[in-house]
Chains A and B, each alone.
Chain A
């Protein structure tokens, strides 16, 4: 294995790859879908998160919240109007500050805030608003203060916005279109045009060729995953863990791509398999799209183990403990696929 040759082959993939229709399509298609979805469902130009406050005392927190530009704060005079505003979606979250809130905070005692959440509010708003309240409370006390936020969901709880339901699909599309389709089409094209044969006759080995194609796929796959999450404003708070999980998912996509590339004869067959086998890839996204489908059904699809950690971190403020089991399963799948790649590579060499 020679890293210099891998870099030469990788350079070729990146410099000449963009001349390939598939390369452009792998980037443009997921972005176009994302833009259409965000425009159609209004998340791209959505308002700032809206916070409603009922102050039963005279808390400084209200003034501090009003000063924050990144959220819109409205004050309500009674619980009924606050609940009504939340239920109708006029605010994403309505909180009730008890009469002696500032005094309890000043004493650094545990505090409780009752919060009403609009059932159709965006996940990002559900993350931003409680985080903002916790930060403001910390500012008020000048140090860490335990605040418990008791949430009550109002409005149509079952009606998750389509913009959110589509995020898992868009993430899978971005990650797997780049990760799977780029290495596979690149490999198949090289086989069809016999350039693969020309390269393997040089000192470059088949494993170096595979690593170069895999690296290109992984880089683009992770990049597309990040871009799609950013465009959907669903990057969550734990960005490092999210990128790590996207990376593992990208490895899975690339491995499947290399296996397909090594075994499939032509691009037409690849697209036929992509169309007919798409359900295996996008099954988990369908489960997330329709909450009526029990989430455990997702477990039967390999891609679920790449998608669930992403969804958990980016949309549900999950942490390592929420995703660890599935991440380990994902790593196991990545390792198993590696053996299949070795078998496919051996077969490819015999056929070249």
Chain B
């Protein structure tokens, strides 16, 4: 099966200082494959490069070396249109659910912002919003509220729903439940499993909780000091 997203020998080096340059190797020699309908777990201690790798795969950061392939095509050889399609197909959900949403926009405005960017005609907005709310298990009465007026679990569902509006093929989940209570964590993890089954999504799940990885992942990579230690 062709991998949705593939990384080959990825590396990321950060440089600091003006005269005396310091080099910090965040990632080195990372190769992985994400397949449709499967979850790849990514574990490692703080500072091991998990989030950096997630950002590179989502196209939010450029690697210093190595290649990323989306549907078999190298990102660097993509045309502008192809790259835009990649950015839409590969999404990222972040750790802090409240911080992922604009605090000055109501939930409805935040959802409509995505629909507007997708150039969806206004007459379809209501249907698309209802469909999305249904998918992530939220009620319509939340639409008029602001992120600070809903719970962390509801914020994370909205963040996930916004991502789903883009009809992605792969989602990078960066510690999606670590800021949530165990009861909400259980809800979100079960929701992710359901969505994966239903939509055939490929997940890269970044977590430091072995039990979350065990529950969700089909394969697991452990990062240590920017290198793959176990696959």
Interaction A to B: no
